[in-house]
Amino acid sequence: MGKRKTQNRKSILREYVESFAIALVLALIVKCSVVEAYKIPSSSMEDTLLVGDFLLANKFIYGSKVPLIPAHLPALAEPKPGDIVIFKYPLNPKVNYIKRCVATEGQIVEIKNKVLYVDGKKVSDPANGKYTDPRVRDGNRDNYGPYRVPKGYIFMMGDNRDNSSDSRFWGPLDRSLVLGKAMIIHWSWKPDPNSPGFVWYNPISILEWTGYNIIHFPWRVRWNRVGDIIR
C-alpha cells in the first residue's frame, strides 16, 4: 500500500514537471517567434513613442528566428517605409533599438535643411514626429546624401529628428538585424524623477520604491496611451 502511494506521488510529480516543461517551451517559442515585449528607454521616437512606453512587437511578420537553432522562418513581409521596426543596434548587437524605416534597398535618401526626400520626392513628417532645434546645423543631422541604400539594407530614422542616433550617423541597417514590427502599446509608465531608487540586496530601498509607486500609481500610468496601435 505504501509503495503504491509513493508511486502515485512520483507519477503526479512527473506530470507537473512535464506540464511545466511544455509550458516553458511554448512560452519560449511564442517569445522568440511570434510576439515579444519591449520598453522604450529613450526619447528618439517622440512623440510617437514616449520613454516608459511598453510595446508588443510582431516578430513573425519579418521572419522570426527559430529557437535554439541558427535559422529563421520565412518572412510574410519585408520592412517598408513607414514601418516602426525593432532591431539589434549595429554597433552593439546586444542592445535593441527602435526607429522608423524611411527607405529600403535601392532607394535614394537625401535630407535638405531637415527635409527628407526619398527618390527625389519629399516625405511627410510622421504625424507625431517633431523637431526640437530650429537651427540648421552642419553635418549629417540636417543635410545628408544623396545616398542609395545598398542591397540587403534599410534606412532608419527616429521620429524625434533632432535627437536620434540613426542611419544618418551609423549607416544603413542590415536586414538580418531586424527583430520585429511594433504593434501596440500595452502599458505606459511616466518617468518620475522623485521616485526612490532601489537595489535588490537592500530590502528597505525595495519597500520605499514599492510604497512610493503604489501611492503614485494612478498618476504615473499614462492611461490614454494603453492599447494604442503604433503607427
The pLDDT tens digits for 144-180 are 999 999 999 999 999 999 999 999 999 999 999 999 9
pLDDT score at 144: 97
Distance CA 171, CA 174 (A): 9
Residue type for 162, please?
D
Give me the torsion for CA of 53, 43, 65, 181, rounded to 10°: 70
Which one from 44, 64, 164, 188 is the annotated catalytic residue? 44
Minimal CA–CA distance to 167: which of 221, 103, 220? 103
Residue 70, C-alpha cell as written in the block: 541558427
The C-alpha R_g of the chain, in whole angstroms, comes to 23
Q: Are 49 and 55 in contact (CB under 8 A)?
A: yes
Q: Are 67 and 32 in contact (CB under 8 A)?
A: yes
Q: Is 99 a catalytic residue?
A: yes
Residue type for 194, please?
N
Overall fold of domain 35-189: Umud Fragment, subunit A (2.10.109)
Q: Are 152 and 175 in contact (CB under 8 A)?
A: yes
The per-residue pLDDT string of the chain (231 residues; one tens digit each, 9 = 90 and over) reads 555 555 555 455 555 454 444 434 434 444 444 567 899 999 999 999 999 999 999 988 898 766 666 766 788 899 999 999 999 999 999 999 999 999 999 999 999 999 999 999 999 999 999 999 999 999 999 999 999 999 999 999 999 999 999 999 999 999 999 999 999 999 999 999 999 888 888 888 889 989 999 999 999 999 999 999 999
Which one from 59, 99, 167, 181 is the annotated catalytic residue? 99
pLDDT score at 28: 44
pLDDT score at 20: 43
Its pTM stands at 0.82
The pLDDT tens digits for 78-104 are 999 999 999 999 999 999 999 999 999
pLDDT score at 37: 81
